[in-house]
Amino acid sequence: MRIAAFEVRDDEREAFAAEAERVGVDVDLHAEPLTEGNAHLADGCEGVSTLGQSHLDAALLEALAQRDVKVVATRTIGYNHIDLDAAKRLGIVALNADYAPNGVAEYTVMFILLVLRNYKPALWRGQVYDFSLQGLQGRELRNLTVGVMGTGRIGATVIECLTGFGCRILAYDPHPKAKVAEHAEYVDLDTLYANSDVITLHMPLLDSTYHIINRESIARMKDGVVLVNCARGELMDLDALIDNIEAEKIGGLGLDTVETEGDLIHRDRRTDILTNRGIAYLRQFPNVVMTQHMAFYTDAAVHSMVSCSVDGIKSVLQTGGFRTRLV
Ligand code: NAD
């Protein structure tokens, strides 16, 4: 059995080699994203593994089906880059990754604290030997209300982590969970917006969640609200964020993902002329902390992402089933 893996980073190679040997498959490793132009690299492979920059739309899935690829496995939890309807129509099984939610949850808590304690301007000042305090006074979580939107695996773990800080926790999810309700109070969105000092997003990017944070929803939030996004950039309208940071309606942002990040993500673009004006403008504010979509990036998660895709492809081809099957 042969698998073609795309978007393979150097730090994944060892895990791929170990997992291929463990489950007894051959894996071809390619650094570039999978496109229609290089789909021939999947010739002779029954499964392909990608990250999020390979846009598995209907045309690309068609090209894979013609090459007898039977399973596509993304090494990400998010799967908004896969056309699931087209996969189903073409008889291709799609899998996503399954790794512990702790890495992203801990990163989210770190972001909340960094923004509340004005870490970014403090870091800037320290680098030029300015050790003044003026303008850096922070807030303590125990006096604040945190709203968690999306209480699946990551959102629920964020809530567990936050219980140690003594803050009030509100939650919103169309599918509330009894275990989460032990630590957080489920409320409707209007109540969450009106009462939260910090709001953090942990839902998937769907047609129904695209730009869920927009001018209208921000207007319903408290003045000075801190927003955190470690889920998907397109959940938040970038222009609305900029306008509301300028208007000081938003008091701080912690963004691991941001709309229009697609051609920047995980790439060294230092010497390129970039056109992502929104990102360039937003990142210069002292109360906006942005990172390069790396909340997932821990030793444990990388190993699980690779293992899940190789093991998942093999299991589907042998038995038809795997725990992270999407279609
Ligand atoms: P999950 O499927 O376990 O949970 C998602 C939750 O969102 C579910 O409980 C669902 O009911 C809820 N939901 C759906 N629509 C909603 C809405 N309109 N409002 C509120 N909640 C809604 O997923 P997860 O493992 O917790 O991951 C959440 C998201 O985090 C993923 O979809 C992915 O996009 C993102 N993610 C980002 C990184 C990163 O590195 N930044 C890493 C992993 C995952």
Domain CATH number, residue 145: 3.40.50.720
Dump pLDDT digits (tens) for 125-157. 999 999 999 999 999 999 999 999 999 999 999
Has 81 been annotated as catalytic?
Answer: no
pLDDT above 90 for 321: no
Dump pLDDT digits (tens) for 173-220. 999 999 999 999 999 999 999 999 999 999 999 999 999 999 999 999
Residue linked to tokens 């470690």: 230
pLDDT band, very low/low/confident/very high, at 327 (cuts 50, 70, 90): confident
- Which ranges of 131-269 does DSSP label H, i.e. alpha helix? 153-162, 189-195, 215-219, 238-246
Whether residues 69 and 119 share a domain: the answer is no
Inside any domain, residue 259: yes
Residues of the domain holding 53: 2-99+299-319
Dump pLDDT digits (tens) for 217-233. 999 999 999 999 999 99
| Mean predicted lDDT score pLDDT of the chain | 97
Inside any domain, residue 326: no
Whether residues 306 and 217 share a domain: the answer is no
Report pLDDT for 320: 79
Residue 304 to residue 252: CA distance in whole angstroms: 33
Whether residues 87 and 112 share a domain: the answer is no
- Residue 99 Cα to ligand 1 middle (Å): 13
Whether residues 228 and 251 share a domain: the answer is yes
68 φψ region: left (φ > 0), alpha (ψ -120 to 50), beta (else): left
Whether residues 229 and 136 share a domain: the answer is yes
Dump pLDDT digits (tens) for 10-27. 999 999 999 999 999 999
Span 101-118, mean pLDDT?
98
124 φψ region: left (φ > 0), alpha (ψ -120 to 50), beta (else): alpha
74 lines ligand 1 (CB under 6 A): no
Question: Count of domains in the chain?
Answer: 2
- Note the pTM of the prediction, 2 decimals: 0.93
pLDDT band, very low/low/confident/very high, at 167 (cuts 50, 70, 90): very high
Inside any domain, residue 327: no
Handedness of CA 98, 99, 103, 105 (dihedral sign): positive
- Residue 70 Cα to ligand 1 middle (Å): 26
199 lines ligand 1 (CB under 6 A): no
